[in-house]
Amino acid sequence: VCSSDLGEGAAKPPDKRQFQKPVADAVEADINQNVRWRGRRHPYRLAQVKPEGKVDKVGQGENAMAETEVLRRMTIVEGDITRLEVAAIVNAANETLLGGGGVDGAIHAAAGPALLEECRGLGGCPTGEARITRGYALAARHVIHTVGPIWQGGGEGEEALLAGCYRGSLTLARDRDLKAIAFPAISTGVYRFPPARAAEIAVATVAQFLADDRIPEKVIFCCFGEVSADAHRAALSGIG
C-alpha cells in the first residue's frame, strides 16, 4: 500500500509558468483539462512524459486505437492523491475495506466517517477485485477500492491479481461513465510488490484497457515520490 504524506511543508503554490517547458507542454495542457487542484498548496510535480515513438495499434476489435492516442490519455503526477479533483480516485485497500495505513488511511481520513459507514455495508472485497463508493469530503466524487496482492516472491499469482486490480477499477469507471480516474502505485508499499514490475503491470493493463474503451478518457498515475514516478515513466517508455 502506498503511503501519502499529508504533513508536507506548506509551501506557496508554484507559478504555473514553470510548467511551460517543451517536454511538459503537451502533458500539462492535457492535465489541466481534466484535473483541478484543491487548496492553497500545489504538491504535484508533472512527470516529464511526452508520448513519442512509432504509431501502432494496441488492443483488439473495432475500438482499437493508435498507440500514441492511448499514451496521451495516461499521465504521471507526484503528490497526494486525496487532493485530486477527478471523477474517481483509487484506494489501495485491504480486504475488510475498513481502513488501514498508508494511502488507505489517508483517503479515509480525508473523506470523513461517512466513507467508513458505506464501506461497512460492502462486506469486504477479495484481492484483485474492486468496489466503488461515494467520495464524501474528498475532492473526488467517487472512491474505487481495490485490494492489491501481498508480494510473496511472484509464484502465488501476484501479477495476475495486480492486473485485476487495475482492470476491475477501470471497468467500474467505464460502467459509470467516470471520465478521469487516478491510481496510486498499488501494492508497492507494505505489500512489498517490486515497484518497477508493478509499474509495468499497471501501465500495460491500463494501456490495453484504454485501447479498447473510450472511457475513462484520462488515467492518472499519482506517485508518491520520485522512485515510483521514475518506474512509471520507464514503463510508459516501454510501450511507446
Query: 17-59 pLDDT, tens per residue?
Result: 333 332 233 333 333 333 333 332 333 333 333 333 333 344 5
Which DSSP helix (H) or strand (E) runs through 223?
strand 218-223
Which DSSP helix (H) or strand (E) runs through 173?
helix 158-175
Residue 212 among the catalytic residues: no
The pLDDT profile of the chain, 240 residues, written as one tens digit per residue, is 333 333 333 334 434 333 333 223 333 333 333 333 333 233 333 333 333 333 334 455 544 456 788 999 999 999 999 999 999 999 999 999 999 999 999 999 999 999 999 999 999 999 999 999 999 999 999 999 999 999 999 999 999 999 999 999 999 999 999 999 999 999 999 999 999 999 999 999 999 999 999 999 999 999 989 999 999 999 999 876
Query: What count of Cα atoms within 13 Å lies in the side-chain half-sphere of residue 238?
Result: 16
Catalytic residue among 5, 15, 56, 104: 104
Query: Whole-angstrom Cα distance, residue 79 to residue 182?
Result: 11
Query: Whole-angstrom Cα distance, residue 172 to residue 122?
Result: 15
DSSP 162-229: HHHHHHHHHHHHHHTT--EEEE--TT-STT---HHHHHHHHHHHHHHHHHH---SSEEEEEESSHHHH
Please state whether beta strands 36-37 and 84-85 pair in parallel, antiparallel, or not at all (unpaired): antiparallel
Cell 508493478 maps to which residue? 198
End-to-end CA distance of the chain: 27
Cell 484506494 maps to which residue? 91
Cell 508536507 maps to which residue? 8
The answer to whether 185 and 223 have CB atoms below 8 angstroms apart is yes
